[in-house]
Chains A and B, each alone.
Chain A
Amino acid sequence: MKEHIAPAIRVTLVALVFFAGIYTLLILGISKLTRGKGQGDQLTVNGKKVYANVGQKFTQDKYFWSRPSAVDYNAAGAGGSNKGPTNPDYLATVQARIDSFAVHNPGVPKTSIPAELVTASGSGLDPDISVDAAKVQVARIAKTRGLAAANIEQLIIANTSAPLAGVAGPTKINVLALNIALDNLK
């Protein structure tokens, strides 16, 4: 056993330098060549940088709402609700979100509300909604902003991301990009 102690310590320390140190620096160096220079993808809004992929809270009637978040879009402590599918408290929360949606969006039938608009995402920072989830909000936004519904629907089409390479994965809309476009609509 004794003959294994020195190699164990020495190999580990070499590995520490190589995998925690050199590997990290290598990736750090290469990532400086990316668009975000290693910071991740950011947009400039009103002269300030924001993360393009980190979802934001949108609860005002004039914006497309993002999905509910168990952590209230806290990007320094992200997380999901971890509620089980049959938990009565959870189902009551979802019911309350449906009721609140109905109050803000009169005339929208309950059967056309997609579940992702009233269920919390895994990260609590979901940047996207589905096309269905955007469409059910058009009437409210058109009324609040005094715009024609057709213009807003046009905006939805323009901001829809197709599946990867047109074939793989869901169709989705980045809520932040959509709302920025909405603010720019004159």
Chain B
Amino acid sequence: MNTDIIGLVIIYALTILLAIPLGKYIAAVFSGTTKRSDIVFNPLDKLFYKLGGIDPRKEMNWKQHLTALLVINLFWFVLAMLVLTNMGRLPLNPDGNPSMTGDLAFNTAISFITNTNLQHYSGETGVSYLGQLTLMLWQFISAGCGIAIAAVVFIAMKERTTKALGNFYFLFVRSCTRVLFPLAVLMAVLLAFNGVPMTFDGKATQISLQGDTMQVSRGPVAAFVAIKQLGTNGGGFFGPNSAHPLENPNYFTNMIETIAILLIPIALIFTLGHILQRRKLAWTIFGVMSLGFFLLMVPTVMNESGGNPAIAKLGIAQPHGSMEGKEVRFGAAASAYWAISTTVTSNGSVNAMHDSLLPLSGMNALLAMMVNAFFGGVGVGFLNFYVFMILAVFISGLMVGRTPEFLGKKIEAKEMKIAMVIALLHPFLILVSAALASYLFAHNPTVYAGWLNNPGYHGFSEMLYEFTSASANNGSGFEGLGDNTPFWNISCGIVMLLARFLPIIGPVAIAGILANKKYIPESAGTLKTDTATFGLMVFAVIAIVAALSFFPALALGPIAEHFSMH
């Protein structure tokens, strides 16, 4: 086995080994049964509650949870707009970077409050250090918000009849202070000791060995990169994200950053098992998600390691795989592994340029975002999976001719309608907006020529990828797309907004309605949801929804490009 593959095995093994105990810890954080860490965090949380004017013991129903979430996000949007459109004049701007235009600020503000981190700017020139620090605030709190809302659904899934689903602020504050904060500190310190800068000095000027004068952008990078990776945020400090040598200097930092992508999304599945006291259900869900992850990741690693056939035709050697857009210190295999990790989880950070991935690798990255439920974003990934589980329960129920029940609750027409709308929203947003963009481009290619960096099928893939990434709240891009225009800024902003909040509202509503229904104890006739059979059923539902919705679009982009190469 070569060292590139051994590296991946170590990364995966460490991720799982860390995620299992972390899942248990997060369950204790949600249920308020942490012990040892309370000495540090109790005073901190109390400060948040006191200064925030919160009563953390006040129980909320599902509607109150959603109201709290939407109101706080609205304020985040206003605050983000204020900072982004004024940072040029504000302090902490040693490089003299400008404020954002209205449409770019609209896109960026939504992008960061929705945990997407789609970036239509480059960090080196597009934001001040104050801008970076406030974006970093959203990397914490938008992730905390996602984790908190997943906790609400976990609590709602317990076997009892209730309206009381805990307190939103309690779950939100604890997610930020007790889960994200300590992990971010640990990771930022590891990064700083491996050469990631942490400074408020502006650009450094240096003379290269050949005698050229170079300017080197830097900043408070270590703190930013840590939470960017942990909170499925993905927005880079620098333009090329974690491909940049100051954001990800060596193979060790690359391992840490890769582990951090999947760590919390996987841990939360185990958290579910602890909260519901259904470990087997958690392992079933983990199994389905892992199956999806491996089916996308393994072919991508092989594909990228094998090199680009179009380059092979030029007669040179490709001993290290397809290297366009990749870094020697990571290699093709670790870049491919990252590409799938970051797209299954809605992280969106990159350590290689996805625009230069081979066609089928690009397709796998697209598919990962189109499904958006194999681990998914922190918290919200599970909500997407929950919708698929409801659909699978319903279909299985029809197949055996019984009223569908899920964890002791009857699933009826209302819940099914919500689940169907949410399951179809994602394809609807992606396909309609990609069709609109394609129409505009095809209608007037000279006006919109600046949009596409690549001709033909790949050009279409660039547009499809952008909206897929926006709708999956992912944030990675085929960055050749000239996306800092009012059309892309505004359309992607709207897509991100709808794709963040509707898939939160739907599952929370379903879970809240189910929680309030009469609990029916399991009997011999109950459909078992913690079995491999049911797992395969969920996988089939996901595959059918994704395949039927997206195959035509994929055939026009990456699949056509692949066959044009051979």
Q: Which residues of A does B touch, CB under 8 Å?
A: 1, 4-12, 14-16, 18-21, 23-24, 26-28, 30-31, 34-36, 38-41, 45-46, 48-60, 63, 67, 73-88, 90-91, 94-95, 98, 110-116, 118-130, 132, 163-164, 167-172, 176, 179-180, 183
Contacts and interface: CB of A to CB of B under 8 A. Distances in A.
B52 A169 contact: no
B56 to A, nearest CB: 11
Contacts of A132: 317, 319-320
A165 B10 CA distance: 12
Given A8-B74, A11-B54, 12 more contacts: A10-B51, A19-B141, A38-B197, A52-B195, A58-B209, A63-B210, A76-B203, A78-B217, A83-B324, A95-B314, A126-B328, A183-B209
B485 interface: no
A111 B210 contact: no
Nearest to A136: B317
B157 interface: no
B195 A41 contact: yes
Given A49-B206, A84-B356, A125 B565 contact: no
B3 A167 contact: yes
A48 B207 CA distance: 8
Most chain B CB within 10 A, of A50, A126, A127, A168, is at: A168
Contacts of A10: 51-53
A82 B218 CA distance: 23
Nearest to B561: A86
Nearest to B221: A40
A164 B251 contact: yes
Nearest to B454: A84
Interface of B: 3-4, 6-7, 10, 47-48, 51-54, 67-68, 71-72, 74-76, 79, 122, 124-125, 133-134, 136-137, 140-141, 169, 172-173, 176-177, 181, 184-185, 188-189, 192-193, 195-201, 203-204, 206-210, 212, 214-218, 220, 222-223, 226, 238-240, 243-246, 249-252, 254-255, 307-308, 310-311, 314-320, 322-331, 334-335, 350-353, 355-359, 453-458, 461, 478-480, 561, 564-565
B244 A85 contact: no
28 contacts: A10-B51, A11-B169, A12-B79, A16-B137, A24-B223, A28-B220, A40-B218, A50-B207, A51-B204, A67-B328, A78-B240, A78-B244, A80-B353, A82-B353, A85-B357, A91-B310, A94-B311, A95-B314, A110-B315, A115-B318, A115-B322, A116-B323, A121-B328, A122-B335, A127-B329, A130-B328, A169-B330, A176-B209
B356 A81 contact: yes
A175 B226 CA distance: 28
A107 B565 CA distance: 31
A77 B239 contact: yes
Contacts, number: 376
A27 B328 contact: no
A26 to B, nearest CB: 7
Contacts of B141: 12, 15, 19
B195 A125 contact: no
Contact of A24 (B54, B133, B246, B320): B133
Contact of B52 (A7, A81, A87, A110): A7
A24 to B, nearest CB: 5
Contact of B181 (A23, A38, A170): A23
Given A86-B561, A125-B244, A14 B198 contact: no
Contacts of B53: 6-7, 10
Nearest to A131: B319
A184 to B, nearest CB: 11
Given A4-B67, A115-B322, A11 B72 contact: yes
A39 B218 contact: yes
Contacts of B328: 67, 116, 121, 126, 128-130, 170, 172
A15 B140 contact: yes
A35 B480 CA distance: 37
Nearest to A174: B329
A38 B220 CA distance: 9
B197 A39 contact: yes
